């Protein structure tokens, strides 16, 4: 749309121009009020967080201490995980998961060894001469050892609190009622 008046075009209609100015005033006022509303909401949020900050910090510290104690107890009792990697309790689950990673003590040496393979080694090297660990993870341990890379497995401990699953509770109640027993 061409907004420049042309020499052959009449001066804008005074009523239309007044309407445009009125609309701009409404828009400007709404924009200013929206800014005030956002500021009020931000201040209310800060007040709310400030009022609960101490509780939050205390609970975060408590969670950290209990998760550490739970992991220590679980690691001291590996027999709990002989049948399953997840221990279920009425209060939640404790599970160990293995997360393999690659240990590259001397990246430069491994890169040189891969370069000696010619084209076959290129998929495992990034152009800035860093090892492509994702591609190397696909190699077997013998190949990795030849490149002086070790596959290292680390375990993470995950603590999950129990949650009510109403869908499951309803199904179990219906199943128990069908057998004539209690859930």
Could you read off the pLDDT of 67-81 as tens digits, one per residue?
Answer: 999 999 999 999 999
pLDDT of residue 122: 78
Token duo for residue 8: 């052959």
Separation of alpha carbons 30 and 22, rounded Å: 12
Q: How far apart are the first and last CA of the chain?
A: 72
Residues 69 and 20 in one domain: yes
3-state secondary structure of 159: strand
pLDDT at site 10: 56
Same domain flag for 17 and 66? yes
**What are the start-end ranges of the H helices in 5-163?**
14-76, 107-116, 133-136, 141-146
- For the beta sheet containing 150-161, the strands, ordered from the edge strand earlier in sequence to the opposite edge, are 86-89, 92-103, 150-161
| Measured distance CA(34)–CA(161) in Å, rounded | 41
Q: Which helix (DSSP H) or strand (DSSP E) does residue 92 occupy?
A: strand 92-103
Residues 70 and 123 in one domain: no
82 within domain boundaries: no
63 and 110 both lie in a single domain: no
Look at the chain and report how many structural domains it folds into.
Answer: 2
Contacts of 92 (CB under 8 A, 6+ apart): 159, 160, 161, 162
**What residue numbers bound the domain in which 131 lies?**
99-156
Q: Averaged in consecutive runs of 10 residues, what is the pLDDT profile of the chain (183 residues)? A: 56 84 89 91 90 92 95 94 91 90 93 86 80 93 94 83 64 68 50
What pLDDT is stored for residue 181 in this prediction?
53
- H or E stretch at 171: helix 166-178
Q: Are residues 19 and 58 in the same domain?
A: yes
On whether the CB atoms of residues 107 and 136 are closer than 8 A, the answer is no
Same domain, 71 and 108: no
Give the chain's mean pLDDT: 85
* pTM confidence score: 0.46
């Amino acid at each position: 749309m061409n907004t420049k008046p042309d020499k052959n075009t009449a001066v804008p209609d005074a009523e239309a121009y007044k309407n445009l100015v009125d609309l701009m005033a409404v828009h400007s006022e709404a924009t200013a009020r929206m800014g005030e509303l956002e500021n009020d909401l931000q201040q209310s949020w800060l007040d709310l967080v400030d009022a609960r900050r101490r509780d939050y910090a205390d609970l975060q510290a408590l969670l950290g201490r209990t998760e550490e104690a739970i992991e220590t107890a679980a690691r001291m009792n590996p027999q709990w995980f002989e049948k399953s990697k997840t221990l279920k309790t009425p209060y939640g689950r404790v599970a160990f998961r293995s997360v393999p990673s690659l240990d590259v003590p001397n990246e430069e040496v491994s890169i040189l060894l891969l370069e000696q393979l010619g084209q076959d080694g290129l998929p495992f090297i990034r152009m800035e001469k860093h090892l492509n660990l994702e591609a190397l993870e696909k190699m077997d341990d013998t190949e990795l050892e030849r490149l002086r890379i070790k596959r290292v497995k680390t375990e993470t401990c995950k603590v999950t609190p129990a949650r009510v699953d109403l869908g499951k509770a309803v199904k179990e109640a219906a199943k128990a009622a069908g057998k004539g027993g209690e859930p």
